[in-house]
Amino acid sequence: MADNNKLRIGTRGSPLALTQTGHVVEKLKELHPILRGKGMTEMVVIKTTGDRVQNQLLASIGGKGLFTKELDEAMLRDEIDIAIHSMKDMPTFIPEGILLHAIMKREDPRDAFISNKAASFKDLPQGATLGTASLRRKAQILNQRPDLKVVPFRGNVDTRLRKLNDGEADATLLAYAGLKRLGKGDVATSAIEIEDLLPAVGQGILAATCREGDKRAHALLAPLGDAETVSAALAERAMLAVLDGSCQTPIGGFAQMNGTGNLVLRGNIARPDGAEIAEIEISGPVAEAEQLGKKAADQLLLKAAPSIIEAIKSDQSYIIRPHPEMESPENLTKNVNDNAEN
């Protein structure tokens, strides 16, 4: 903690990251009057490797650790006190000395379909072009529309919308939560229901990290947590941790409470080309969220046809090739199933 008790909040510099972090800072001020004083909070913008490298797919240069490594390092050097992340962009591994402390109430977990050619991806013309850098979205869409041509789309929300308007694709997909937080929810042509496109693990959730042992940061962040979202995140991330330990593959996962008070978890893994997909749905007590996630992963691996696993292993574009700027990819890049930011 800084000597003057200023709370230093680390964030990436994209418009979405700054907007999301700004919302969290305002919530912290609302909860803690001591932070309302002049100079009591400071947003520290940290450019990550993932922000700098825009011409390669994440899965080919090191995955999601590219968007968290510099924030983690700044925290361990005591340059920031907390960091705000989109949970779907966080690796399942959290570095030693850092605590994933506040998991906030989930926004809309669905993906948004954006196009001026069709109302949904199901209505796109035969052979239309879909822009996305997400392995998960690509596999699930091609599973239902193998005729579509998928081209890489990276960059922040505005960049991808510009590419779409410039005619680089007939449609694109973005996280609906991000659009809503930016005040651009009306950009979406439609929201894709979870039954048609399973979200990324943690999609729609903001999370805050802090240093272990930083009692002040712990106390400030504690009220931000949402119990129901915490349970869902625990189940989803436990499933992902097991799956990522065995293969790098397009993975979808979403957990929510049902009417009886149990936690229902859906998950899937797919061939990179979408030709085959394995899906499961299980439920269990909220208190056993992590066990539920591990059980789901085990069932998925048993259910997945050998051809899915073999296709993943043989698809060289999905093997992690750490970017030179990543010093410790083995510790920070265990989750590569989706493109960061949106």
d(Cα 53, Cα 30) in Å, to the nearest integer?
36
- For residue 288 the two structure tokens come to 């056993």
181: closest CA among 250, 70, 72, 104?
104
Percent of the chain with pLDDT over 70: 83
Highest mean pLDDT: which range of 90-94, 159-163, 229-233: 229-233
Domain coverage including residue 218: 1-107+205-225
Sequence-distant (≥ 6) Cβ neighbours of residue 284 within 8 angstroms: 262, 263, 265, 291, 292, 295
pLDDT in tens, 19-69: 999 999 999 999 999 999 999 999 999 987 656 655 555 554 455 577 788
Whether 341 is in a domain gets the answer no
Q: For the residues 324-340, what does the mean pLDDT come to? A: 36
Highest mean pLDDT: which range of 85-99, 174-188, 237-251: 174-188
pLDDT recorded at residue 51: 62
Q: Tell me if the pTM is above 0.85.
A: yes
Whether 169 is in a domain gets the answer yes
Which residues sit opposite 208 in a β-bridge?
84, 102
Active site residues: 89
- For residue 53 the two structure tokens come to 């490298």
Sequence-distant (≥ 6) Cβ neighbours of residue 30 within 8 angstroms: none
Whether 334 is in a domain gets the answer no
Q: For the residues 263-277, what does the mean pLDDT come to? A: 95
Sheet holding 277-285, edge to edge: 251-257, 262-270, 277-285
Q: Which residue has the tokens 């397009």?
A: 250
Whether 256 is in a domain gets the answer yes
How many alpha carbons fall within 13 Å on the CB side of residue 259? 0
Q: Is the dihedral of CA 235, 237, 238, 242 positive or negative?
A: positive
Q: What angle do CA 306, 134, 208 make, to 5 degrees?
A: 110
- pLDDT > 60? residue 309: yes
- Find the DSSP H helices in 82-205: 135-144, 157-165, 176-181
Backbone angles phi, psi at 170, to 5 degrees: -85, -20
d(Cα 247, Cα 37) in Å, to the nearest integer?
49
Question: What CATH number does residue 180 fall under?
Answer: 3.40.190.10
In terms of domains, do 99 and 20 share one?
yes
Whether 314 is in a domain gets the answer yes
In terms of domains, do 76 and 48 share one?
yes
